[in-house]
Chains A and B, each alone.
Chain A
Amino acid sequence: MRRGWLGEAGRDARRLLRAYPSLLRVGMADMLAYRAEFLVWILSMNLPLVMMALWTAVAADGPVGRFGQRDFVAYYLGMLIVRILSGSWLVWELTMEIRRGILATRLLRPIHPLWAFSATQLAAVPMRVVVLSPLVVVLYWVAGARLPVHDPARLAILAASLVGAWLLLFLVMALIGMLAAYVESALSVFDLWLAAQSILSGFLVPLELMPAWVARLARVLPFRYILGFPVETLIGLESNATALRDLGVQWLFIAGALLATIVLWRRALRRFAAFGG
């Protein structure tokens, strides 16, 4: 009995491994087809640059806390890079597919829709890396000494934190997107999430410049682990020991979100069947 279940899981995994590269290729072709839209999306990520301008003007007459002008430039460049790398649009796609019932066709396929969605979202990453490479050069030029180029341990933590940031945001979007099976205003819920995130993730203002209680609160909420934590690791605001501990917290959040996603997916699907007829 137990072996049968394992065998089935193994067959599923093999099927997924075979299909995933094609799914990625389809996603890449999609990205190329909508390259104008991609460019517009990149251009609309200009808020970190505006905040950079603001804070460098503030730091013109002396550093703010630990931050001098160069630190602000490095921080917001890092923020821009992490924001673009970890971004997904799953929540919009999922809510739209649930509302219009398109999700039904995905359910017919022999691959779990969340795997298929993850392929579409991941396929967008290589093009982003290409677009971001000049920014990385600028960042190296501004703050080369801070980057973990000669510190393999921190480089490894950074890589894991970036993967984690992408995964955490993906799962949160899946969770909120599935609310669309229950309420109409799932996107408004996500808007609320974004509002909280812009403050509590360090997106607008570095967390260590916020009042102490906000910074403490941010450490126990998931928002910081999507943006602020990878950026702080990237430009070396944290010691390796602290970064490693934070990485553990990040992956705990991921595990929790994954569990919640699996549970909610089953329940929402039952509800969706009633919804789409």
Chain B
Amino acid sequence: MRRILRRYARLLAVQIRTSFTLAVQYRFDFFVEGMLAVIWLAITLVPLAVVFARRPSVAGWSYPEALVVVGLFSMLKAVLDGGVMPSLNHVVDGVRKGTLDFILLKPADAQFLVSTARFEPWRILDFLGSVGIVLFAFHRLHRWPGALGVCLGLFLFAVALMLLYSLWILVVSLSFRVVKVDNLSYLFVSIFDAGRWPIHVFKGALRVVFTVVFPLALMTTYPAQALLGTLTLAHALYAGAGGLLFTALARLVWQQSLRSYSSASS
């Protein structure tokens, strides 16, 4: 077991080194993309500013509280852009061109190899900026989360990362069945975007979808509530259990899909 772990740690290091070399090669591109990420973040704050200029609170959320959700959202988004999307695009490309076969032939877990294929290291800057937003929001609130709040918040953020990853694995599995799906990652991001709003903004069917089917509530609202001290322990545990269940399900679907994958090249 230890041997296996060590082997995978070494593999991970190799994959990260490759990505880093690539990133350093295309410095200018990443600079441009970094600037664009900042601009997009600023633009998505506009509706928030317009709404809260008109109302002191929306669906029970004040401006700084909603800002905590936005901060957590853009932390997740940085992870998505830096650690998840690049690999996703790589695999979808591989399925279409048939180069996925080379990965499947390698003597290591395919899910691991596929998930670590590409990283964009510069996204760490986005992540730090997003942490800044959360800190600024608490500064505006004039109250800071207690130890329990921070622990719960971190736990739920870890759950959120797991959920994000599972959703991604589900999307990749889908790309096995519907091969010509270039827009799949675009769709994924567009739905994920709704996570910048507290779940209580949504009513009826949308709320159910964003809690159970595409669990955005678990990813941004719940961790934010934990930090704000408005989440009960029972809710947090339910969220954690739900996250684990979702992850297990995703792994299952991935293995099913892999069995039905027939190469594009043969």
Contact = CB atoms under 8 A, between A and B. Distances in A.
Interface string A90-133: 00000000000000000000000000000000000000000000
A84 interface: no
Contacts of A198: 43
B193 A58 contact: no
A36 B264 CA distance: 18
Nearest to A210: B50
Given A36-B178, A185-B32, A198-B43, A54 B51 contact: yes
Contact of A195 (B36, B47, B186, B197): B36
B202 A205 contact: no
Q: How large is the interface on B (under 10, 10 to 19, 20 to 34, 35 or more residues)?
A: 20 to 34
Interface in A187-234: 188, 191-192, 195, 198-199, 204-205, 209-210
Contacts of B187: 40-41, 43-44
Nearest to A49: B206
A198 B45 CA distance: 12
A64 interface: yes
B186 A44 contact: yes
A19 interface: no
A197 B259 CA distance: 44
A216 to B, nearest CB: 16
B194 A191 contact: no
Given A47-B190, A198-B43, A53 B182 contact: no
A46 interface: yes
A199 B58 contact: no
Interface residues of A, number: 32
Contact of B183 (A40, A184, A191, A199): A40
Contacts of B197: 50, 53-54
Contacts of A56: 203
Interface string B184-222: 101100110110010011110010000000000000000
The dominant DSSP class at the A interface is: helix
A188 B178 CA distance: 28
Contacts of B184: 40
Contacts of B54: 58, 64, 209
A51 interface: yes
Contacts of B46: 199, 204-205
A53 B201 contact: yes
Given A44-B187, A199-B46, A50 B181 contact: no
Contacts of B178: 36
A58 B186 CA distance: 28
Given A37-B180, A50-B193, A205-B46, A192 B186 contact: no
Interface of A: 34, 36-37, 40-41, 43-47, 49-51, 53-58, 64, 184-185, 188, 191-192, 195, 198-199, 204-205, 209-210
